[in-house]
Structure 1
Amino acid sequence: MLAKIVHSYRQSFTGLAKETWLLSLVMMINRAGTMAVPFMSMYVTQSMHRSLADAGLIITLFGVGSVLGASAGGFMVDKIGFRPVQIFTSIVSGLLFIGFAFVQDYSQLCLLTVVLSFVAEAFRPANFTAIAAYSKPENITRSYSLNRLAINIGWASGASLGGLIAAYDYHWLFFVDGGSNIVAGLLIVLLLPSAKKRAATQPQEASPAVVKKPWQDAFFIRFILLTALFNTCFFLVFRLVPVYWKESWHLGESMIGVVLGMNGVIIALFEMLLVNRWEGKRQPMQYIVMGCMANAVGFGILLLPNITPLVLALACMTLMTLGEMLAMPFMNTLIMQRSNAWNRGQYAAGYTLSWSVAQVVGPATGAWLAQLGGYSLLWAVLIVVCIACAVAFSWLKKRQHQYEQYAGVFK
């Protein structure tokens, strides 16, 4: 029995290109290098002695820069290639993070925040595109799952290390953060050979009949709007749900941390194994629909009486994580299936943009709903939205053939 389990895990990780492993390693270092971001509000209030409103403005500006950076990053990938974009954004964002340690003026900090988030977020569509370029078609979903695993490990380790560093000196957060980003860029310079660039990194001039822009793809526009809506709901799991557990279910911070940590643990242990089993057995959209429904049920648990709050919190997080594993790897796959070597960066930017928009819109909208009608209203709205997303994705799948005049040149 144990041998079968070991074989299943080994099979889940075999067959992936070495470049895919390198890109995932770079992404893990890059995400670990965002350790300063979760503590930005505390830095502004505790170290700079500014108000909470000023801290909120910094977070908002970070989101605005991310939205702009995601768009620009995809455009630059299609112009100059994913390798130079990753190198430039990693090294420059590293230098900008270090620059944070020397800025004492709040106005300058606001400006630097926009510039930094712009450069840092431009890295993601480049990395996203590179994975598709180096992956075989039959391995693309597993390749993105490996990348997601790297993101989760990087984020978890970075946040944990960041807490220790912040307790010592906030300024060291920026030095370590900047250094890790520079290391990520140097790894690409040294280990990702330029001779192996694919056609996606050297786009050739093509007729408009061959190269379609994402905004000309009616299916993609509808899909990415639904993805942004789904991501908006998902972000609230890590922004407002813990607050609800603390205020209404009276769970302690340590216990909430354990429950939230389950997300990364479950993904690390099971996502690659499950995706290896799921890939190719159903169409990607079917898994996305199931993921939306799993999240709807997860939010439904929050409406139950808190007789056993810890058990309910664990069940909620398990369902949310299942929904994430069902939906997000296959969202990546579906988007890349509709792109080609000349427009892949712009398609990747559209997906990254949906995340950036969700980060900006989700927490503010969720907090407003909670203040307006209480948490019960918020959870009820999120249940309806998740179900609506599932229905809309299903509807889009049934009519996908109507949009193949756009997709025909992408395959």
Structure 2
Amino acid sequence: MRVASVLESISAGIRCFASHAGRAGEVVGSVDKKHTISGVINVPQRILMGPGPANAHPRILAAQALPLLGHMHPPFLAIMDEIKSGLKYTFQTDSPYTLMVSGTGHAGMEACISNLVEPGDKVVVGNAGIWGERVVEMSKRFRGEVTDLKVPAGQTVPYELLKQTLEQQKPALLFLCQGESSTGTHQNLTGLGELCKKTGALLLVDTVCSLGGVPMFADAWGVDAIYSGSQKCLSAPPGGAPLFLSPRAMEKIQRRKTPPATYNLDLNLIGDYWGWFGKRSYHHTGMVSTCYAMREALALVNEEGLESMWSRHKELHHRLWDGLHSMGLKSFIEKDEDRLITVNTIKVPEGIDWAALIKNAMDEYNVEIAGGLGPSAGKVWRVGIMGYNARPANIELVLTAFKDGLKKQGWKKF
């Protein structure tokens, strides 16, 4: 066959292939470049004084820029061990069952519920806001029989109501939120660990916006499970959920009749990856840079000391309210003992546009003040005093933003 004929045959074959490529699942077409991105990311610098995330400590941000390690490399496993140790101090526990779940506080919540609740288990939920509501929903999804102890927004769940309910129902689990960020309440946990032991329940506590900012004594208070978040009082970026289990809680998980209805959040498997059982098995790719950040966050907690951290948050909480009261503003929480230090809820006065004040604070002062959430939506402003942001200069900036925003709306009660 002549060369020209050969080339003609090849060309015809290529045309034929192209015309049928779509039928074979091949992509035919040209690249649309109109929607590509380029250049260096541009992120504004803002002071985040809402309910979270708070601004991260510079040392913690710098840790995330360190070189990546493999998630099963010995140097990385050593960092995971440091995190476990730091969490034992932060939770105030001797339990070996501490780790950080890959994901935000919601992942910690779901890990606890999916592992501690078996189908048919009775679950009592102290529901003081949006996080109680979500635990009610999540417990139902994992087929728990839920008793919803819902209280009005701005109140905590009374001890006597909890005592009566636990003694009557003998549930498998009691849930309470120590710091309810949607309403600004602080749930007193005194005596509840002992009550749970007497009635056969496990005590699960949400500390997403409270851990590091207010006292927590997991062992002394008889708490059985805790989840938290990295992005609030611990001053790290979002993405990690510190978690604690007591030996009682671990026994419950290991005695389950059926495995948890989640593989990704199965704490037997995650715990094995974190070395809970004397060995290490691959479960998922650990969040390498996020773990660097958490290691630094916990080192900072240790270096300052928990008592000093708690005192710092409390002092600045009082400083904020001294300024707010001088403007004629009031707390959404009536009882002083129920007020959360780390997320403060301020009543929006009649005739004041809450959203306009928030916008003015951002536009004029580059500071975030948040509105309400869930049952407090449209009723309050929320100011966070958490971690790295718990500093006098930030409190003064927030007060200046409030004063200016109120003046612009004709507020006279200064």
What's the TM-score once normalised by structure 2's chain length? Answer: 0.28
> Highest Rg: 1 or 2?
2
What's the TM-score once normalised by structure 1's chain length? Answer: 0.28
